[in-house]
Amino acid sequence: MSADQGTREQARKLTNELTRLLRSGKMLPGSITQRHTFCGRAGCACQADPPRPHGPYWQWTRKVAGKTVTRRLSQEQIEHYRPWIENDHRIRELITALEAISIAHLEAEQHHGGG
């Protein structure tokens, strides 16, 4: 198998996986984090020594129009939507990999005088 055939095969595999994920229609941008909080109320357990913070709370964070938007989610929502966020991350990885293949192809053509 030539290098060009290997590159085409690699791109085909990436495209197939990307297509499968896109067809699922299940993707959410952003990330999920677990948070513990501290209030300012005197005598609250979160202010004790040692402190016992409130939580855990699960948050979904993403960017909307350049601003960070955070939404609290239940444990059930986390279990349901975490795969959707993982799909979005994987889609972005696949696109980056396909871009790298295309850039390498273009650079190889320019190096060899192809057009």
In this predicted structure, the answer to whether residue 115 has a pLDDT above a threshold of 60 is no
Q: How confident is the model at residue 97 (pLDDT cuts 50, 70, 90)?
A: very high
Average pLDDT of the segment spanning 33-53:
91
Q: How confident is the model at residue 1 (pLDDT cuts 50, 70, 90)?
A: low
Each as own residue / partner, the long-range contacts of residues 35-43 (CB below 8 Å, 24 or more positions apart, any chain) are 35/59
Using CA atoms, how far apart are residues 63 and 12, in angstroms rounded to an integer? Answer: 31
Give the residues across from 70 on adjacent strands: 61
If you average pLDDT over every residue of the chain, what do you get? 91
Break the chain into its structural domains and give their ranges: 3-111
